[in-house]
Structure 1
Amino acid sequence: MSQAADRAAGRAAMGRERFDVIVIGGGHAGCEAAAAAARVGAAALLITQKRETIGAMSCNPAIGGLAKGTLVREVDALDGLMGRIADGAGIQFRVLNRSKGPAVRGPRAQQDRALYRAAMQAALDAQPNLTIREGTGAVLGDGESIPAPRVVLTTGTFLRGLIHIGERQIPAGRVGDAPATGLALTLERLGFRLGRLKTGTPPRLDGRTIDWAALEAQEGDEPPEPFSFLTAAITRAQVPCHITATGPEGHDLIRRNLARSPIYSGAIESRGPRYCPSIEDKVVRFADRSSHQIFLEPEGLTDHTVYPNGISTALPEDVQRALVATIPGLERAAVLRPGYASSTTTWTRAS
């Protein structure tokens, strides 16, 4: 009898459900961790707040990029899911830095959010040895305790998460989803050192209100280059992105309202990632520049939502709308959802 069969028989004999590995969080990392554990024969349990948001792309609707594209291919080489699913849900593929050496090239694929989420959920549902439950920890909200010798936390922005939009603060892991507060308190009680990490996202725009004719189109590569070594060719229809930029009027608007941004008002006491600066940071740090490039990225083949990559912001909603209106091609663009900064808990072992 195999080790996996031995474990299954032991669980059955005990008369209660037991798992070898529990993964908490159904984002990119959690999906890969749960699937990897199940692939090697472990009885794995994936716990997530909402089953329907497993595989949801909370921020940028793209996979890969500089350095990150290499990581996706490494995950694929270990039989991970992301590369294969991105190849099936991708709607524009580009290799960044193609004119430079192979060591610095970065494969990147714009994704259809709905297709990616559905494909990830289908892959996990089809994975033997994997169970999915809704909850927020190994002790669930209803008090049920689920034992396991190993627990993997992949909580992303949810761990005692806080959303900042101007002067407003909203406890949330992302828009519409509650934070994992109890889990953060448990880590603190166990002696872990907690800190804070800041990231952000731009406002979402209604593509039907954008002046596309005034903008430069950016086509994908032809032929598109897959992520996965198992993908023979990309067969899905590809779409263009478009390019625009901020200007002096928008920069002046940002400077006049810096005190209303939680990034500069002192409302956020956390460190931000160097690779994802807000538009406020760009205007302050690079004061000599009169413009910053923006890539208008579609979020799906049947979705009118557009992601303006390059203007991540936590400014108040009225300032965000005014800023968008200063950008060429976006003068009459409708803001579907404001951008925000997300401050979340991180942890390390106590020294």
Structure 2
Amino acid sequence: MFSKEYDVIVVGGGHAGSEAAAAAANLSSKTLLVTMNLQSIAQMSCNPAMGGIAKGQIVREIDALGGYSGIVSDKTAIQFKMLNKSKGPAMWSPRVQSDRMRFAEAWRLQLESLPNLDFYQEMISGIIVENRVVKGVRTSLGLEIRAKAVVLTNGTFLNGLIHIGDKQFGGGRAGESASTGITKDLTDLGFEAGRMKTGTPPRVDGRSLDFSKMIEQPGDEVPEKFSFLDATKPLTKQRSCYITHTSLEVHDLLREGFDRSPMFNGAIQSLGPRYCPSIEDKINRFADKDRHQIFVEPEGWDTVECYVNGFSTSLPEDVQFKALSRVAGFENVKFFRPGYAIEYDFFPPTQLKHTLETKLVSGLYFAGQINGTTGYEEAASQGLMAGFNAHLKIREKDPFILRRDEAYIGVLIDDLITKGTEEPYRMFTSRAEYRTLLRQDNADFRLTPKSFEIGLATEERMRKMENKKNKSVGFVNFFKETSVSPEEINQIFERRNSALVSQSDKMFKFFSRPEVTMEDMKTIPSVADYIEQHELDSEIIQQAEVQVKYSGYIEKEKNNADKLHRLEGLKIPENFDYSKLKSLSYEAREKLSKIRPVTVSQASRISGVSPNDVSVLLVYMGR
């Protein structure tokens, strides 16, 4: 069946695996995607949504690089929201509610359209390694499939254990069995493994809910979309979500089941995601709160199934039902399935290079929850980068690595490789020190040229980006070069209670005032004429406004990034012996020897390496 050798084998068909397989195949590598169930490719195991704070930026970046998460999200969206619009544009984050069934279907059909991609359904139980070089995989039936590179994207399936109250059973997801064998192979090779936990809430029958007792949450009046391409269109109709709240009565009912909770009786030892805690964890940690928000999210256009966001739990099913039925609007609730927690194996990501290739085994890549992350978006971005780099390595080309000032994906991977994680890692805008540069609106400017250079982004995508960039730069230059009279601009200033002016000046200066908006500027005839003559759409107009309003912040961050690049250019020899530098602190020697940073800049970001330790390195390197 598998007499030929593949270029790349991707193990796992979740969000990371789907992006990895698509990237490698689209770059012309002969690729095999092996998964335990072909019917659940790219399944949304948890909430039916893509994007959100910082996560929306990642989806835009994946799209700009030529991945499919944005396109599939647009095709299957049932609601769109741009979050944080009341804050600066560095914080704006797109998010969609998705049709869960159609999302998985769209991904499956997208992958099946790729001529270089083959599929096989079976559990992978082992990795074939010879002389520290990966040679392929071994299936549960004993088949050996050879490849030049292997990408592991096993999600929550490695020795997965599901908890519902005091009941435990093996599984990688509700209704699907766990994956065994790979962890032992990897630990036998010398890899360090650990355990993590995540959870999911009950799914309920929407026909049993009383939405009149909840607060409706409609989508944006003028919805946008994720993909920069024209292949998808913004929504013309949307489904609403709803908000309700728990109460002290609900909390008391939940506490009755704490003695049977695996979270509190010792059955679960591993750490769960800090920023997405279970409902029992929330009422235990925040005992002073008399209620918590519950978001009721429809699972699709036509299904009645609803996701109870904010009620993730591993309490016994009878406790879940009793407590949830006391929530406003849930008095007659019918369960489709109870919530549960799941424990699974992961491998601390400090064992990886920035390409996501393992340090111990050449040609072996890890992506997604196997690296200790949580979230579809974080997983998908890692899969994309692993797919890129697996293809490039077997063709002996330079690796594809994104810096922290180039993408949230760069921040994510650098954090994992340099700092590691002891709890499921989730991306936030606060993790990115250059977030004014890394906005969701300019992801194509930042990343499409890089992807085009290695052959993934299409000419169509590149031309569209260049047209958008040229028009937005031209519009900004128009503001810089065109003067406006006091008579015209003072009309705007009066409406905005802004200080009036007595002489003409460049529009850029006046537009830079915080209280002046693009809508104000459009009332100036010359601005309206320019927009009409150059056929500027809303995306280009928004891009120009951001460039004008935040020019000072953007310039400052660029200068800071330039300083970072100077340290990035200082390479540390591959087998450098840190024990020789007696001036280093003991902790720095230990951490540097373990993580093996590639540059002085990366060394400076390792927890436990002080500025004094960095100075010692710089002195040693003659700087």
Answer yes or no: is the 8 Å Cα contact 1:88–1:234 preserved in 2. Answer: no
> Counterpart amino acid of 2:200?
T
Higher helix share: 2
Aligned partner (choices 92, 98, 103) of residue 116 of structure 1: 103
Answer yes or no: is the 8 Å Cα contact 1:196–1:346 preserved in 2. Answer: yes
Aligned partner (choices 8, 15, 21) of residue 28 of structure 1: 15
The 5-angstrom pairing of residues 10-29 of structure 1 reads 16-29=3-16
How many Å separate the matches in 1 of 2:217 and 2:201?
20
How many Å separate the matches in 1 of 2:284 and 2:3?
58
- After TM superposition, give the deviation of residue 236 of structure 1 in Å: 5.7
Structure 1 residue 238 corresponds to structure 2 residue 238: yes
Answer yes or no: is the 8 Å Cα contact 1:95–1:105 preserved in 2. Answer: yes
- After TM superposition, give the deviation of residue 125 of structure 1 in Å: 0.2
Correspondence for 1:169:
168
Aligned partner (choices 92, 100, 110) of residue 87 of structure 2: 100
Correspondence for 2:473:
none
**Highest Rg: 1 or 2?**
2
Correspondence for 2:48:
61
CA RMSD of aligned residues (A): 1.4
How many Å separate the matches in 2 of 1:19 and 1:93?
39
Answer yes or no: is the 8 Å Cα contact 1:224–1:234 preserved in 2. Answer: yes
How many Å separate the matches in 2 of 1:67 and 1:170?
34
Query: Per-residue CA shift, 1:42-66, capped at 9, x if unaligned?
Result: 1111100111111211111111111
- After TM superposition, give the deviation of residue 276 of structure 1 in Å: 1.2
> Counterpart amino acid of 2:213?
A
How many Å separate the matches in 1 of 2:178 and 2:236?
36
**Which segment drifts farther, 323-332 or 252-261?**
252-261
> Counterpart amino acid of 1:67?
A
Alignment partner of 2:120: what SS?
A: strand
Correspondence for 2:147:
148
> Counterpart amino acid of 2:278?
S
Correspondence for 1:222:
221
Answer yes or no: is the 8 Å Cα contact 1:83–1:227 preserved in 2. Answer: yes
Correspondence for 1:5:
none
How many Å separate the matches in 2 of 1:179 and 1:97?
38
Alignment partner of 2:234: what SS?
A: coil
> Counterpart amino acid of 2:31?
A
How many Å separate the matches in 2 of 1:136 and 1:191?
23
How many Å separate the matches in 1 of 2:38 and 2:115?
17
Structure 1 residue 327 corresponds to structure 2 residue 327: yes
How many Å separate the matches in 2 of 1:212 and 1:177?
32
Correspondence for 2:314:
314
Query: Per-residue CA shift, 1:66-105, capped at 9, x if unaligned?
Result: 1111111111111000000100100011112121111222
How many Å separate the matches in 1 of 2:325 and 2:235?
37
How many Å separate the matches in 1 of 2:299 and 2:236?
15
Higher strand share: 1
How many Å separate the matches in 2 of 1:119 and 1:108?
18
How many Å separate the matches in 1 of 2:16 and 2:93?
20
Correspondence for 1:135:
122
> Counterpart amino acid of 1:205?
V
Q: TM-score, normalised by structure 1?
A: 0.93
- After TM superposition, give the deviation of residue 210 of structure 1 in Å: 0.3
Alignment partner of 2:138: what SS?
A: coil
Correspondence for 2:504:
none
Answer yes or no: is the 8 Å Cα contact 1:91–1:236 preserved in 2. Answer: no
- After TM superposition, give the deviation of residue 289 of structure 1 in Å: 0.7
Unaligned runs of 5+ in 1: 1-14
How many Å separate the matches in 1 of 2:150 and 2:3?
18
Alignment partner of 2:264: what SS?
A: helix
How many Å separate the matches in 1 of 2:242 and 2:267?
34
How many Å separate the matches in 1 of 2:236 and 2:16?
25
Correspondence for 1:336:
336
How many Å separate the matches in 1 of 2:8 and 2:15?
17
Alignment partner of 1:333: what SS?
A: coil
**Which segment drifts farther, 80-89 or 92-101?**
92-101
**Which segment drifts farther, 94-103 or 329-338?**
94-103
Answer yes or no: is the 8 Å Cα contact 1:88–1:236 preserved in 2. Answer: no
Correspondence for 1:181:
180
How many Å separate the matches in 1 of 2:91 and 2:162?
34
Q: TM-score, normalised by structure 2?
A: 0.53
**Which segment drifts farther, 265-274 or 184-193?**
184-193
> Counterpart amino acid of 1:292?
H
> Counterpart amino acid of 2:191?
F
How many Å separate the matches in 2 of 1:339 and 1:177?
15
> Of the two structures, which has the highest relative contact order with CA contacts closer than 8 Å and spacing of 6 or more?
1
Unaligned runs of 5+ in 2: 125-136, 352-359, 361-593, 595-623
- After TM superposition, give the deviation of residue 197 of structure 1 in Å: 0.7
Answer yes or no: is the 8 Å Cα contact 2:223–2:235 preserved in 1. Answer: no
The 5-angstrom pairing of residues 197-208 of structure 1 reads 197-208=196-207
Aligned partner (choices 112, 137, 162) of residue 125 of structure 1: 112
How many Å separate the matches in 2 of 1:88 and 1:301?
12
Answer yes or no: is the 8 Å Cα contact 2:78–2:235 preserved in 1. Answer: no
How many Å separate the matches in 2 of 1:285 and 1:144?
49
Answer yes or no: is the 8 Å Cα contact 2:164–2:339 preserved in 1. Answer: yes
- After TM superposition, give the deviation of residue 269 of structure 1 in Å: 1.3
The 5-angstrom pairing of residues 252-331 of structure 1 reads 252-331=252-331
Alignment partner of 2:320: what SS?
A: helix
